[in-house]
Structure 1
Amino acid sequence: GPQLVIARDPAGRPNIELINDPRNVAEGLPLLLDNPAAVGETFHLMAPHAFAYDTFVAHLAKLTGWPVVEVTVSWTLHLDFSIAKARAVLGYQPSRDIFQMVDDGWRAVQEGR
């Protein structure tokens, strides 16, 4: 059957990444339109925080009941973006992280949507 994989580098660090829910972007875009301070500026309309894949995979395992396998790889990804500027200038408050995205999707599948 299916298995979930946690990849760690030789020091034991998992991948760290920031994956965004498009609903966060949809909530953030109107903040740009009505704010003169946004003109000519660049903002990251991203999820509220990055996540570690070991925590994410553990969450998936709870939902699915699938076993988890750990492997060691030569390197892991560490990717994060700051949304501090969007928070400070626009009042951006993203409401969904990776866990909310997965929970919403899992619930929809379970309900047959």
Structure 2
Amino acid sequence: MADDALVIMRDRNGRPWRKHVADVRDIVGGCVAALDHPASRGHAIQLGAPEAFDWDTTVPYLAAKLGRTYVDAKDPGTPTYYEFDLTRCRSLLGYQPQYGTHRMIDDAVAYLNGSDISVVPTG
């Protein structure tokens, strides 16, 4: 395995890991929507990307964008496999997250290549 290879993590049965992340732009949009909707008061509302991502589709996409290789690896421990329930975000707030994992990757690569993506850098 090359030192810079990305890794598709899988559980002991070969199922790819699944995670649900969030882009700061969706978090801010969801918070503004919550402030604008009185119906949200008293409710816990999960915010996140439009959908969870599976490592077996996202890692190859990221590797192609970065010109890197990737390998598969199985983890015998407890797998990372979850997705958020965005029902309240969508129904109470009417908020539809815009930034899926591929868009986050595309925007990050564009930023690294000098494009203005209307995000203030944190580093």
TM-score of the alignment, normalized to the shorter chain, above 0.5: yes
Determine which structure has greater relative contact order: mean sequence separation of CA pairs < 8 Å that are 6+ residues apart, divided by chain length.
1
Name the % identity.
Answer: 34
Offset from partner CA, 1:26-58 (integer Å, 9 cap, x none): 111121112221111110121111000111101
**Match of 1:107?**
110
Q: What secondary structure does 1:60 align onto?
A: helix
Q: What secondary structure does 1:62 align onto?
A: helix
Cα deviation, residue 98, structure 1: 1.5
With structure 1 as the length reference, what TM-score do the two structures score?
A: 0.92
Amino acid at match of 2:85: S
Cα deviation, residue 5, structure 1: 0.9
Which residue of the other structure, out of 56, 77, 80, is the alignment partner of 1:77? 80
**Match of 1:9?**
11
**Match of 1:89?**
92
More helix by share: 1
Q: What secondary structure does 1:105 align onto?
A: helix
Structure 2: runs of 5+ lacking an equivalent: 117-123
Which residue of the other structure, out of 38, 43, 46, is the alignment partner of 1:44? 46
* Counterparts of 1:28 and 1:89, CA distance in 2: 11
Cα deviation, residue 99, structure 1: 1.3
With structure 2 as the length reference, what TM-score do the two structures score?
A: 0.85
Cα deviation, residue 17, structure 1: 0.2
Equivalences, count: 113
Moved over 2 A (4+): none
**Match of 2:68?**
66
* Counterparts of 1:28 and 1:7, CA distance in 2: 30
